[in-house]
A and B are shown apart, each in its own frame.
Chain A
Amino acid sequence: MQEQDQDVIREVLVESHENLSRLDQELVELEKHPKDAALLASIFRTIHTIKGSCGFLAFSTLEGITHQAETLLSQLRDGQRELTPSLISLILETVDATRKVLASIEASGEEGPERFEDLTERLRVAAQWTASPESQPGPRVQAGPLAEHPNDNGSSEFSEGKNPEEGAAKSSAVADANIRVGVGLLDKLMDLVGELVLTRNQILQFNTEREDAALNATSQRLNLITTELQEGVMKTRMQPIGMVWNKLPRVVRDMAVALGKQIRLEMDGSDTELDRTIIEAIKDPLVHLVRNSCDHGIEPPEVRARTGKPPQGRLTLRAYHEGGQVNIEIGDDGAGIDVAQVKQKAVEKGLLRPEQAEKLSDREALNLIFQPGFSTAQTVTNVSGRGVGMDVVKSHIEKIGGVVDVFSRPGEGATVKLKIPLTLAIIPGLVITSGGERFVIPQVSLLELIRLEGDSSEKHIEHVHGTPVYRRRGSLLPIAYLNQVLGLKSAERAEAVSMVVLQAEDRQFGLVVDGINDTQEIVVKPLGKQLKGITVYAGATIMGDGRVALILDVLGIGQRSGVLAESREQARAAAELKTQSGIEQQRLLLFRAGSFERLAVPLSLVARLEEFPRNSIEHAGGYQVVQYRNRILPLVPLRSVLESGAPDQDQTPDPVQVVVFNDGERSVGVVVDQILDVAEEAVAVRQKSSRIGLLGSGVVGKRVTDFLDLNQVIHAATESWFGGAGGSASGKRILVAEASAFSRGLIRGSLDMAGYRVLEAANLDEAIRGLEQQRVDVVVAALDLPPSGSSALLAAMRRRPEWQAIPVLALADSAETVQASAIRTAGFQDCQAKFDREAMLGSVSRLASALASAEIAPACAGEER
């Protein structure tokens, strides 16, 4: 009997907990739709059920509280009174009290010492306030019969309810088809299935070594059943993430009320399923992140109004599957994270020295919030600052193999992104060998397998400035060699090259391995902490022969080998940075010539794009020319410049595609095979080129693109046409001091074309060295020249008598900075925007000729000229 009682109590507890979490949601919902009768009825029923069960089990405190709440709710349901926020709060308080008592019952079997008299009294007063005397007996009458069958509440309740719903009948039917299973049992099953999968793999391996039909048939059967069993058990452990999200509306509501903010919670993808161990593990971090967004992210309504945002803040939760992982984003449209404040805080807390803080990029600074003991909240409110920091969130997520990232747009909000593995247990993987070792690549990252046979294999892999690439269906795929990445011995020169094409984030790359074996279901086992720091492994597994094999982390491999040097986040951060400062956001003309599939020049250098019929090309002075706008336009066949000796005529299409470049008096047409596109991109030239005609290569539109060195191309082809470098500029030597290789190349290109001789320097030291080695006529220096700006260079130059007379042109990032008077008075002879080519050339020409006539302008030139 005693035991039966215990069973009944346990049932009631489980059921009440479910009811209560639904109640939380419904009440928050009710606040939005106070007139929703169905919702009210449902809430009433829930409370009523709990009350009934408690009465039956003689939990008097609980019964007292729920009874009063029920009275109140019945008045609301019957439309006798209006719902007010204070009533909602009171009911929510009841829910909390109920939960507390239930917890105590769960722990000790008793209701606990707390009587909640105050709450009961307030509920009673609230209920009496407008209650008509006859409304109270109602619920009591209802409670009577119900108390006799507390365990079959669903149906019995509905038969009496005033407005029965179909949904309820359905839910009881569902309840019949379900049984509750302890989580411990499921975990045990999962472990056993994991072992079974390993054993199965071993048997399959064993089977391949023998010729036994019976064994073969049996092991095939075993294989099938194991797979099915594994899938089934995995499914039992999957739960929608909504399970965790359910309690968030309540959290947000409470936070909003406590902080005097208005917050709307939007949830997207709550049916995304995750393994329950993972659901369990992300529960607390999620709540913390949501609290954080409410507290620190979303501003109070009056602040929002001032910044032109709607007074109601928005908090977005998104969950979605991507590449075998689940992404969860917690975003708000609040103030974002103040990087300066983060840095300052880090310095105050002694996490960083001030000079370290200065050097940090915004992205690195944002990651400081994951340091232990870090909180940017100016005041510790009662809702945040409970000792759980972002560091705990991070460590929780990382413990389950996830990644946390934070993005912030100042003034627009912040987003925290969690990337979480779908399951920790069993995944399909491809077994490969390299350097005599076996490795496993998770199938989710695998796109295709490529085998390059025989002699052609060497030809298929080409090198773009030292980086091996493979042409895959017309686009270039960067390649890494696993042996090199892992520092393994290279295999003997093989007949064929085996390559796996992998996807990491949104990039693809090829990984050359020694051999490709087969695919297998593998049980992922974590590596010990001694190996955690090695990013190229995601874990380890046990193979069919009982030996351990390492599981490769595709992203880690890509990053280590350099083919993913810029991960998506970095690229994004860089793009943000560049939009802010306005540099190097270039419009590029993309085209094709010969074997160069993708070439680019800045669109600003292009005068026109023209098409000429092939028969209009004439020859003059050994050059191909066309008549163009009453002048003779020399043509430079790009293909023959880049690939010396390549035939240029026969393969050029008709009409001929020509890019016309103007340089002062001169015009030159460059013949290309095909114009591809115009792209606007933040560009960083990754690798300088030693090849004639190319500046280097970079990534444009996610593809490797070679940048044309226009100056070289045109000069190489037309030197004698124009009779060498032209004009007054010839012979003048210009020192270009600029950190970015790309910008330097552009500036150099412009100056070269104008006939100057150019020295390059990437920083202060190089600039000084350049000045020491050669006579320089004009110095062109970027304002942000490392390490401490071009003023340092200017100061250094003015200290040396022999350099005092050399004029210095400062280059600012944008036109706005040019306006800043500080620059003009700082001692520079002139200042121009970095990419205003004409203005820069004009200025250099003025300064150079001023020097020639020995009448250098004093400090603030520019203006009067």
Chain B
Amino acid sequence: MATDTAVLKSELAQTSGQFSTFFVGDLFFGVDVLRVQEVLRFQQMTRVPQAPQVIEGLINLRGQIVTAIDMRRRLRLPARAGDQTPMNMVVRTEDGAVSLLVDEIGDVLDVDAATYERPPENIDPAARELIRGVYKLKDRLLLVLDAERTVDLAIGREA
């Protein structure tokens, strides 16, 4: 466990390398590939009454109970269309595994560190809190999601 955390800490430091990508609304996100535990289809969820809005529920991941966070609500985007089922992107955080519910899973991308930039100032505050930076890919922008901040629901609550 201790080494896991150490690995995570060192992963946190790196901003270049490979990214698992996904879509939420029309935003294109990436999470360091080492952080991603697995990607699952939509699972049966157990609702948690009285929980913060962004928490969709709990899933059973082979005996491990994982909290699922709806990224649309986390980013204050409009809700998904009724027929669209989200995907689970299970990421490892310092607090254990957390599932991020996203619209669609993209490819794993190699990015060029030279195209990295700080997030632009005019981005929506709800999203900016959670974005570490931006890679300017050829045809679109890849937003680097800060997984630790994303799962810390205290962040961006008042914004």
A interface, CB within 8 angstroms of B? 195, 198, 435, 437-438, 486-488, 525, 527-531, 534, 536-537, 540-542, 546-550
Contact = CB atoms under 8 A, between A and B. Distances in A.
Interface string B87-129: 0000000011010000000000000000000000000000000
Given A542-B65, A548-B60, A528 B49 contact: no
A548 B49 contact: no
27 contacts: A437-B46, A438-B46, A486-B49, A487-B50, A488-B49, A525-B64, A525-B65, A527-B67, A528-B151, A530-B51, A530-B69, A530-B98, A530-B151, A531-B48, A531-B51, A531-B55, A531-B67, A534-B51, A536-B50, A537-B48, A540-B46, A540-B58, A541-B65, A542-B63, A548-B46, A548-B57, A548-B59
Given A437-B47, A488-B49, A534-B51, A528 B98 contact: yes
Interface string B73-94: 0000000000000000000000
B48 A550 contact: yes
Contact of A486 (B46, B50, B59): B50
The 6 lowest CB-CB distance pairs between A and B, nearest first, are: A486-B49, A528-B67, A548-B46, A548-B58, A525-B65, A529-B95
The secondary-structure label for the interface of chain A is mixed
Contacts of A530: 51-52, 55, 67, 69, 98, 151, 153
A542 B62 CA distance: 10
B44 interface: yes
Contacts, number: 66
Contacts of A548: 45-46, 57-60, 65
A550 B67 contact: no
A612 to B, nearest CB: 57
B94 to A, nearest CB: 9
B49 to A, nearest CB: 4
A656 B45 CA distance: 64
Among A531, A541, A546, A548: residue with most chain B CB under 10 A: A548
A528 B49 CA distance: 15
B65 A540 contact: yes
Contact of A546 (B49, B58, B60, B64): B60
B140 to A, nearest CB: 30
Contact of B63 (A195, A528, A529, A547): A195
Contacts of B46: 437-438, 540, 547-550
A154 B52 CA distance: 62
B49 A527 contact: no
Contacts of B57: 548
A547 B60 contact: yes
B69 A547 contact: no
Contacts of A486: 49-50
A437 B50 CA distance: 13
Contacts of B44: 547
A13 B52 CA distance: 52
Nearest to A546: B60
Contacts of A437: 46-47, 49
Nearest to A434: B49
Contact of A487 (B49, B55, B60, B65): B49
Nearest to B153: A530
Contacts of B45: 548
Contacts of B59: 548
A445 B46 CA distance: 23
Given A437-B46, A547-B60, A548-B65, 4 more contacts: A487-B49, A528-B66, A530-B98, A547-B44
